[in-house]
Structure 1
């Protein structure tokens, strides 16, 4: 069994069983990928993929178990390489952050500038996606850290750990001429009477909007547009499609034709959190990034939050 064979099988699975796409990502040929996967299956004595002719169409139950372990082996192999790199190049490496579009624009830039000023030799990259997507990137090893201010459906425990940094409230984005802009205080009934434009995750029942509605007799409201991109929400608010329910932290990007009214008192705040794999090797520069993003996340505090062992009670 070779690591290359495991890598080919895992990448094929990640590419939705498209061997051509997997081969392109791996910079090799399609026949080469297919051959190595066949050799792996023959050695294991089980079929990983179900085939229809030459096409792979599904994963077998045994294949799912193999792929899960294979992903873990590949991540651990990368960790071993990183350990060697960490001890020979303490200030060099790569750091990939996955975050939502709102955080990428309004919360991340200042931290990134501060970090790169101190770590110019670190290759830094940012990926964007919805809350569940960026958490999946961390689970797959495609990102080192996810930064989210919104709920995810993933559970935290053995594989994922999170560091809560701060809390964000919500605001209503309105045209300056909108009737709600003239109210001394906006209530939930005022908001849900209007067509709403908000983030996709707000459609979940356990999101702040759903929890707020659960406290009233109103069980539903009209969502005119759901999108993860604040710029898109702002554009359609300007067009008069409805009112926007957005993070209160977007104050510096308000268009001159719009107004932002804080309604944090109506909704449960969301926590801005850093999400990492439990087995992530934290290099010196990753600790430094945490502290750049949130000064209270010192190395000592991070280690305590992530790695503090449970307290055993040996009393009788």
Structure 2
């Protein structure tokens, strides 16, 4: 079958490991299903896989793609949930110490077919296109969990999103606006800030700018470069919700501010199958159109990978069959 895959790890030149070609058709274990892929979206995790981060050398070649949408054998349209946990685990699968993602142990979605546990194939709402559904499983699910499960925000409160144009950030802007939050966003360039405003941000600011007032929650995926600003931007009792650290993982803790203002720091990773099902329903019912910055045929996947590697992202990058 056709696939986009990492032939081997290449820490220094990840795109040299990117291969577009043929891979063996997958076997379907009992309790699993084959999904004929219509669209798959690109995540930073795929570049890490090309570099060999979070995957053992013996796992290569590895088909890339955590996220996707497609059809089952009976024609049912589904969205793929990429977290695969221990079958004996009960409860929140993001807390399962034995959980894995597609592309870590199991082959990914950038192929004609992906095989997943039956419960990981979630029915796609009719009003959501395959390309838009394909962005839900990582970036949008991460944003949904940060906003609705972790932050404790209520409609009418003010949220600050650090960074204006990445997949999680654009999802947070669109979800927050639809949920009735006052959405503020920082961005490094006028172009990125304009995108946030187009997606529904009530106000945008240059990175590190002094805000008109302190906010109820900050959503962090940048890390070292924005951490001090995030802490200073919170009202007493506010929360910073962290899902990543793209600029560096070791920011100054600012412990005095943390305890004196009784701030809350909450980590958040991906989301559960139930949260993904709720996200899909919310997006469909609210009429949200996810921001797709680049859509290209899957056989031209290198164009999308290069755009992400160069930082030329504005919303999600999607590959279609």
TM-score of the superposition, structure 2-length normalised? Answer: 0.27
The structure with the largest alpha-carbon Rg is: 1
More helix by share: 1
